[in-house]
Amino acid sequence: MGFRSTGYREETELNSPTQPTAARSSSSTTTRSMWWRRETYHPRFEFRSLISRMILATGEYFMHRSKSWVLLVGVLMVTVIGEVTWITSPEISLSLFYILPITFVTWRNGRMAGFGLSVLSVCVWVIADAGKISSLSAVGYWNPAISLAFFLIFSETFAEFSVLLEWVRTDYLTGLANARGFHDLVTREIYRSERTGRSFSLAYLDIDNFKSINDTLGHTAGDAVLRLVGKTLHKTTRKSDSVARIGGDEFTILLSGAGQQSAEAAIAKIEEAVRTEFSRANWPVTFTVGIATFPEPPHSVEAAIKQADDLMYEAKRMGKNTKNHRVIAIDGGDRQQ
């Protein structure tokens, strides 16, 4: 399997997120309209309250750190809270602050780590309030016991919530990002491009004749093809890149910081990897790919994805097993590539 490239095309000006493009077939229009409805009526998952959004942002920061690092920070936070409890008046309760390290450790390391930190938090609290507890005899242990129960219930609930939050952005079949998750990833890349001035590229891949695979080999084989495609794309791309499955047989790749040549080399590497994997499986699978390179940040995520989507369908009209690469000018100025 080898891509039949249409070559670099004339640079396209992207003046607005809703810039009209050439008419396409009814099926491609339906696919695009489905994408627009998904993005328009299902905005990316976010919290409205300021406190919750701060917790979410901090949690995402910890998710990019190693588990051992997050656990160490959690233990240090518990120790600091215990020290503050020791030097303050017994009438001032600081037990609520233990929720913060328990939250982040549970989010990053899972429920068992959260349970362990909950027990440690109560032990530190008991030691810090030892004088008060001994003066009240057995009654003084009631509050720590209740707090431990609360911490454990909170850890269990938050562990389930963190899994739900992950699956909201994840494709159930391939384990890649879904349309909602990819929207968030491209949003961050646009912000990064605005700050640093670096270009980036989006690739929109469609499996050729995927329906015939389902019809002739069955849906189980079709699912196996999708999983193998997702695994191969994830394995072939860099850690800084992002891969998503946003439709039945459609995948997108965010090539972070990639210009013309870098994007072309990345897609060639992907082509080789896919050809090798599917030759082993004896599956006659090919791709049609649209690649949009943005030297400047686009107006919106929708506009960026739409450009790559349009290029993919343009390549489809030229013939399958084809790639179509174009550099997108944001502020105008056409020039031949």
How many distinct structural domains can be found in the chain?
A: 2
* Band of residue 212 on the pLDDT scale cut at 50, 70, 90: confident
Query: Is residue 333's pLDDT more than 60?
Result: no
The answer as to whether 12 is a domain residue is yes
Indicate the residue among 168, 203, 222 that finishes a domain: 168
Query: Is residue 277's pLDDT more than 70?
Result: yes
Mean pLDDT of the chain: 78
Give the Cα-Cα-Cα angle 322, 327, 329 (nearest 5 degrees). 145
Shared domain for 111 and 180, answered yes or no, is no
Shared domain for 294 and 180, answered yes or no, is yes
Shared domain for 100 and 205, answered yes or no, is no
Q: What is the pLDDT of residues 93-120, one digit of tens each?
A: 777 888 888 888 888 888 888 889 988 9
The answer as to whether 337 is a domain residue is no
Shared domain for 179 and 80, answered yes or no, is no
Residue 278 has a pLDDT of 81
Domain containing 240 equals 4-43+175-329
Q: What is the pLDDT of residues 213-269, one digit of tens each?
A: 888 888 888 898 999 999 999 999 998 899 999 888 899 999 999 988 999 999 999
Residue 56 has a pLDDT of 65
Indicate the residue among 168, 201, 222 that finishes a domain: 168
Shared domain for 156 and 249, answered yes or no, is no
For residues 18 and 196, which has the higher predicted lDDT (pLDDT)? 196
Tell me the average pLDDT across 301-323.
90
The answer as to whether 336 is a domain residue is no
Q: What is the pLDDT of residues 20-64, one digit of tens each?
A: 444 444 444 444 444 444 443 444 444 445 666 666 677 667 777
The answer as to whether 334 is a domain residue is no
Indicate the residue among 142, 168, 194 that finishes a domain: 168
Query: Is residue 202's pLDDT more than 90?
Result: yes
* Band of residue 172 on the pLDDT scale cut at 50, 70, 90: confident
Q: How far apart are the first and last CA of the chain?
A: 26
Query: Is residue 67's pLDDT more than 80?
Result: yes
Sign of the C-alpha dihedral computed for residues 25, 31, 35 and 38 taken in this order: positive
Shared domain for 283 and 262, answered yes or no, is yes
Query: Is residue 205's pLDDT more than 90?
Result: yes
Residue 131 has a pLDDT of 56
Residue 44 has a pLDDT of 44
Of 337, 313, 334, residue with least CA distance to 326: 337
Residue 92 has a pLDDT of 73
Shared domain for 194 and 323, answered yes or no, is yes
Residue 111 has a pLDDT of 82
* Band of residue 311 on the pLDDT scale cut at 50, 70, 90: very high
- Measured N-to-C along each axis, helices 99-109 and 50-63 cross at an angle, to the nearest 10 degrees, of 50
Shared domain for 309 and 209, answered yes or no, is yes
For residues 200 and 160, which has the higher predicted lDDT (pLDDT)? 200
Shared domain for 37 and 144, answered yes or no, is no
* Band of residue 145 on the pLDDT scale cut at 50, 70, 90: confident
Tell me the average pLDDT across 161-167.
72
Tell me the average pLDDT across 303-321.
90
The CATH number of whichever domain residue 271 belongs to comes to: 3.30.70.270
Buried b (16+ CB within 10 A) or exposed e, 149-165: ebbbebbeebbeebeeb
The answer as to whether 60 is a domain residue is yes
| Active-site residue, 184 included | no
What beta strand segments (E) does the chain contain? 4-13, 200-207, 242-245, 250-255, 287-294, 322-329
Residue 250 has a pLDDT of 92
Sign of the C-alpha dihedral computed for residues 135, 139, 141 and 146 taken in this order: negative
Shared domain for 278 and 206, answered yes or no, is yes
Query: Is residue 207's pLDDT more than 60?
Result: yes
Catalytic residue among 206, 249, 309, 310: 249
Shared domain for 146 and 277, answered yes or no, is no
This prediction's pTM: 0.64
The answer as to whether 335 is a domain residue is no
* Band of residue 306 on the pLDDT scale cut at 50, 70, 90: very high
For residues 277 and 128, which has the higher predicted lDDT (pLDDT)? 277
Query: Is residue 9's pLDDT more than 80?
Result: no
Shared domain for 187 and 251, answered yes or no, is yes
Of 266, 254, 259, residue with least CA distance to 202: 254
